[in-house]
């Protein structure tokens, strides 16, 4: 099957995964923030907690798939970027999200300390 | 004929090709009058050089679509009294090159029908008996819901994705593809589906529904495209 359709479905499926996770993510922020959203403050209470490692592991993966695909479409449709270049920029964005998000997840897992 | 000032319509008509300007005409207002009547009256009585396209005048052929007050419409079935009043602005359809005045070049539009794999292919010849198709089968109902398209180009002109993305096949071509993949007589379903799922295909649709809102015959290309998307998902997980 054509690549465009695969990417389209991948974006929709990642949205399905993200929908409940985003709700939990936002509720957690509203409920649990005490002294601001600093890395130290958050890690002090989440480091080594398996459920948050798994939760944000999935979350980061879904976001890293979903957001670059959306950005790719916006670049093609609204910014007139060719599909080839939009694809390259999306890959770069994907790599950035996986790096930053993966680093955060590893920190929660307690691997980075 | 009513000639009082208040019984006259002010009509701004696009003159020229992609480069051009509006020209104002005053046309008598009549009891029962369509936008096509107004255009025809201008051409017959005031400016024989005005170019526009029409054929049947009764909403069957799909030739006379134009942009009226900013919206794509079939002009033969758009009554002047259904417009909001005030000056009437008439331009060619959007998203297609303008040839002259109110006529646009629909070559690209029809080329996209071909690119969407929209040639019907049958396993039967004219010597065979006609296929027996159950009109109540779910598949035939899907095809029937999409089949009354008159190729007027109104949905194509109303679609933002067509405007943004040259590659996008557009709602009319994909609606036709949907009617074909649901036609049990069509032998090249795979070819049609592959084209409809290709780079310019159904996955580009944003489901804004402009095509559905603008379609003069009440079809929903949005629903047809959603059907193709669903089919693409099923095909991806191996159910065809």
Q: What is the CATH number of the domain that holds B43?
A: 3.10.20.30
Do residue B124 and residue B197 come from a single domain? yes
| CATH for A74 | 1.20.1300.10
Going edge to edge, which strands form the sheet with B88-91?
B20-28, B8-16, B88-91, B65-68, B71-74
C-alpha torsion sign, points B36, B209, B136, B117: positive
In the predicted model, what is the mean pLDDT of residues A84-97? 97
Task: Answer whether residue B39 shows pLDDT above 70.
Answer: yes
pLDDT at B237: 80
Among A103-112, B47-56, B91-100, the range scoring the smallest mean pLDDT is: A103-112
Same domain, B96 and B168: no
Model pLDDT, residue B65: 98
Predicted local distance difference test score (pLDDT) of residue B4: 53
pLDDT of A113 higher than 70: no
**Is residue B226 within 8 angstroms of chain A, CB to CB?**
no
Comparing B182-196, B210-224, B226-240, the range with the smallest average pLDDT is B226-240
Residues B177 and B75 in one domain: no
CB contact under 8 A, B199 and A4: yes
Which of A43-52, A75-84, B90-99, B118-127 is predicted most confidently? B90-99
Which tens digit of pLDDT belongs to each residue from A5-62?
889 999 999 999 999 999 999 998 888 777 777 888 888 888 889 999 999 999 999 9
Signed CA dihedral, B13, B14, B20, B22: sign only: positive
Containing structural domain, residue A52: 3-109
Closest CA to B198 of B164, B163, B173, B223: B173
Choose the final residue of a domain: B104, B126, B156. Answer: B104
pLDDT of B3 over the 60 cut: no
Q: What is residue B232's predicted lDDT score, i.e. its pLDDT?
A: 87
pLDDT of residue A4: 85
pLDDT over threshold 80, residue B94: yes
- Asked if the C-beta of B191 comes within 8 angstroms of chain A's C-beta atoms, the answer is no
Quick one: what percent of chain B has pLDDT higher than 90? 86
Domain that holds residue B217: 107-236
The residue with tokens 């919206």 is B71
Give the pLDDT confidence score for residue B144 in this predicted structure: 94
Give the pLDDT score at A1.
55
Q: Which of B104, B135, B159 represents a domain boundary (last residue)?
A: B104
- Residue A110: pLDDT band (50, 70, 90) is confident
Q: In sequence order, what DSSP letters do the residues of A58-105 get, joined into one string? A: HHHHHHHHHHHHHHHHHHHHHS---HHHHHHHHHHHHHHHHHHHHHHH
Residues B150, B113 share a domain: yes
CA distance B191 to chain A (A): 11
Choosing from B37, B71, B104, the residue where a domain stops is: B104
Across the interface, of B164, B201, B202, the residue whose CB is closest to A78 is B164
The CATH number covering residue B176 comes to 1.10.1060.10
Contact A5 B194 (CB under 8 A): no
The model's pTM: 0.87
Give tens-digit pLDDT for B59-92: 999 999 999 999 999 999 999 999 988 999 999 9
| B199 pLDDT tier (thresholds 50, 70, 90) | confident
| B98 and B112 co-located in one domain | no
Residue B118: C-alpha distances to residues A102, B79, B85, B194, B227 (Å) = 46, 33, 41, 11, 16
Q: What is the pLDDT of residue A37?
A: 78
Check pLDDT > 60 for residue B53. Answer: yes
Residues B95 and B19 in one domain: yes
- Residues B78 and B164 reside in one and the same domain: no
Please write the tens of the pLDDT for every residue from B144-196: 999 999 999 999 999 999 999 999 999 999 999 999 999 999 999 999 998 99
What is the mean predicted confidence (pLDDT) over B93-103?
Answer: 97
State the total domains in chain B: 2
- Cβ distance B162 to B214 under 8 Å? no
- Which residues in A have their CB inside 8 Å of a CB on B? 1-9, 12, 76-78, 83
Of residues A113 and A66, the one with the higher pLDDT is: A66
B226 Cα to chain A: minimum distance (Å): 12
């Amino acid at each position: 099957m054509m690549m465009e359709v695969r990417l389209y479905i991948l974006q929709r499926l990642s949205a399905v995964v993200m929908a409940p996770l985003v709700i939990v993510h936002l509720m957690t922020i509203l409920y649990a923030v005490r002294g601001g959203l600093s890395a130290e403050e958050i890690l002090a209470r989440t480091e080594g907690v398996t459920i948050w490692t798994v939760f944000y592991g999935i979350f980061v993966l879904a976001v890293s798939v979903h957001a670059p695909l959306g950005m790719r479409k916006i670049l093609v449709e609204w910014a007139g970027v060719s599909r080839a270049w939009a694809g390259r920029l999306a890959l770069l964005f994907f790599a950035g999200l996986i790096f930053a998000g993966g680093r955060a997840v590893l920190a929660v897992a307690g691997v980075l300390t | 004929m009513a000639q009082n000032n208040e019984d006259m319509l002010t009509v701004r008509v696009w003159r020229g090709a992609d480069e051009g300007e509006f020209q104002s005409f005053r046309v008598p207002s009549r009891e029962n009058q369509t936008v096509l009547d107004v255009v025809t009256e201008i051409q017959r009585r005031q400016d024989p050089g005005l170019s526009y396209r029409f054929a049947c005048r009764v909403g069957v052929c799909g030739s006379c679509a134009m942009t009226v007050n900013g919206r794509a419409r079939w002009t033969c079935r758009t009554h002047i009294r259904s417009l909001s009043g005030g000056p009437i602005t008439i331009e060619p359809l959007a998203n297609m090159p303008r040839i002259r005045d109110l006529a646009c070049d629909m070559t690209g539009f029809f080329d996209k029908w071909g690119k969407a794999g929209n040639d019907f292919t049958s396993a039967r010849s004219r010597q065979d008996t006609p296929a027996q198709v159950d009109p109540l089968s779910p598949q035939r109902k899907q095809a029937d819901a999409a089949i009354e398209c008159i190729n007027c180009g109104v949905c194509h002109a109303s679609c933002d994705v067509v405007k943004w993305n040259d590659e996008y096949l557009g709602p009319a071509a994909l609606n036709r593809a949907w009617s074909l993949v649901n036609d049990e007589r069509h032998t090249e379903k795979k070819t049609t589906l592959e084209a409809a799922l290709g780079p310019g295909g159904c996955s580009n649709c944003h489901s804004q529904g402009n095509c559905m809102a603008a379609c003069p015959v009440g079809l929903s290309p949005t629903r047809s495209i959603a059907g193709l998307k669903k089919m693409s998902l099923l095909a991806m997980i191996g159910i065809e």
